[in-house]
Amino acid sequence: MNITTEVIVTIIATTVVLLLLAVFVIAFVFYFRQKQIQFKADKKNMEVAFEQELLRTQIEVQEQTLQHISQELHDNIGQILSLVKINLNNLDIREEIPAIQKIDTTKTLVSKALSDLRSLSKTLDANYVLRSKLSEALRFELDYIHQACGCETILEVEGEERLLPPQQQVVLFRIAQEVMNNAVKHAIPRTLRIDLAFGPNHFLLRISDDGAGFDYEQIQKEGAYEKGAGLTNMQNRSRMIGAHFDLQSQIGKGTSVTLKI
Amino acid sequence: MEYNYRYPYFAILILGIGIGIYRHPNLSKSTRIILYLSVITLLTEVIAYWQGLSRIPNLVIYNSFMLIQTALLGLAFTFETSNRQIKVGTLFTIIIVSVFWFVSIDKFNSNGLVAVLTFIVAISLFYFYLLIKTDTVVPLRNFPFFWFSTGFLIFGVLNVVGFGLIYLLDVESQILNSVFSSIRIYSNYFLYALFIPAFLLPQNSVKNA
């Protein structure tokens, strides 16, 4: 090759390399931006899905609360007020001593109805779960279950309780509520126990019962629709708030659900 | 005063170093290493220039610089990416460059330089690969190593190609030598000019993006 050819070859080769490098960098920037736009859209969708799931959880908590209230009004306060009405109907003011006794009984019954109404009014506020400490909300739920099914209920809190972020609290409460309802409905336990543990960098919620238990592996294998869907829902919600969900169950020995953050 | 291609080179380096020193508290650990590399580069060039003027052979300083450059670049990219392969690649390149240097100790280590340039191209491409794999909302410009990698990639590829052509064409011509020299000089300007935005902009890394 003569010198002129060599110079031309060099210039062409350098230009081609430079162009390729420029194309590479521009293509990289373009691809990165496209990927970033996609990532932002995915993130936004996930946030929307999170908000929707959270809303659904809150609505479920509210529905459950209304169900409690309706049952409480019917089974407890309604009964007391019926007794009050019967007492007042049978009241004969001409017979002084029995009338005073009946009025005293009626007063006691009205006081009981008032006290029950006051505690019920707390739950009428749909956001009570968000405002109270998790242990308080769970204590209230356990008391209700105790009254409804008669089983023994225990709540243990380890460490210094701190307020959890509202989203976490409502989801944790709803999962606990669902686990307890399932236990009462299907396992018929003698004891229902909730353990809460607050550490500096960790949190644990365990709901355990000594009821009938079930074959968890079998349910997973068979994909039993109702139970499977409920469990999957709980697992998804746990994941949504960054909690690790663990379920242990043995036939005849009970079930334990643990959530760790 | 007669124009020398080193003057703009020194000016770009001094500007970059000045900005780097001013922004030092805000720079990430890995960017600081690149800043130290810039300081060493400037010192090397100044000493080599002075040695050239004094007619003292400056091969030793350039040959030593290759090793320092490889070590610092490897360290910076390792800190930036926490990648073990870069560490291994750095050690491997240092061994190769040292071997080439000791084989012909009294000459310019051109084989070593090709090894360093190949290493530079490899780690730059690897960084681009890591960057594209990262899911982030951080703008690309806020990754200082995007600027460094772009500069090193263009500098590395152009010089590897330049060296390849020198071997291929067996160049004796004055004009061709001056073309290759221009490629080297302008790619150097470009590389060190990209250090300026890298030092100025927010510091994000693929590790915590």
Domain residue ranges in chain A: 133-261
Q: Which two tokens stand for residue B172?
A: 């004796």
Domain interval for residue B68: 6-200
Please return the burial class of A120, using the count of CB atoms within 10 Å of its CB with bins 0-12, 13-18 and 19+.
middle
- The answer to whether the Cβ–Cβ distance between A40 and B137 falls below 8 Å is yes
Q: Which residue among A7, A14, A29 sits closest to B140, beta carbon to beta carbon? A: A29
**Residue A30 in contact with partner chain B when CB distance is under 8 A:** no
Instruction: Give just the sign of the alpha carbon dihedral B133, B138, B140, B141.
Output: negative
| Distance (Å) from the alpha carbon of B137 to chain A's nearest alpha carbon | 6
- How far is C-alpha A140 from the geometric centre of its chain's CA atoms? 15
Over range B115-140, report the average pLDDT. Answer: 93
Total length of chain A? 261
Query: How many folded domains does chain B comprise?
Result: 1
Q: Give residue B193's pLDDT.
A: 95
pLDDT in tens, chain A (261 residues): 566 777 787 788 888 888 999 999 999 999 999 999 999 999 888 888 888 887 787 777 777 777 777 777 777 788 888 888 887 887 776 777 777 887 888 888 888 888 878 777 766 665 677 777 888 888 888 887 887 777 888 888 888 888 888 778 888 888 888 888 888 878 788 888 889 888 888 888 898 888 878 877 777 666 655 556 677 778 888 888 888 888 888 888 888 889 988
Cβ distance B179 to A13 less than 8 Å, yes or no, reads: no
Quick check: is B178 in a domain?
A: yes
Smallest CA–CA separation between B176 and chain A, in Å? 6
Class of the CATH-defined domain A133-261: alpha beta
In a domain, B209, yes or no: no
- Domain presence at residue B143: yes
Q: Which residue has the tokens 């794999």?
A: B133
Q: Looking at the domain assignment, is residue B160 inside a domain?
A: yes
- The reply to whether B83 falls in a domain is yes
Q: Is A50 on the interface with B (CB under 8 A)?
A: no
In order of A47, A64, A101, A131, the CA distances from A57 in angstroms are 15, 11, 49, 16
Classify residue A258 by its DSSP letter. E
A253 phi, psi to nearest 5 deg: -115, -10
Residues of A in contact with B135 (CB under 8 A): 35, 39
Name the strand (E) or helix (H) holding B131: helix B110-133
- Chain B: nearest CA to A21, how far in angstroms? 7
- The ipTM assigned to this model is 0.85
In chain A, residues with a C-beta closer than 8 Å to the C-beta of B140 are 29, 32-33
A40 vs B: CB within 8 A = yes
Is residue B77 included in any domain, yes or no? yes
Domain-located, residue B207: no
Residue A190 phi/psi, 5-degree rounding, is -85, -35
Task: With beta carbons under 8 A apart, name residues in chain A contacting B154.
Answer: 18, 21, 25
- B158, part of any domain: yes
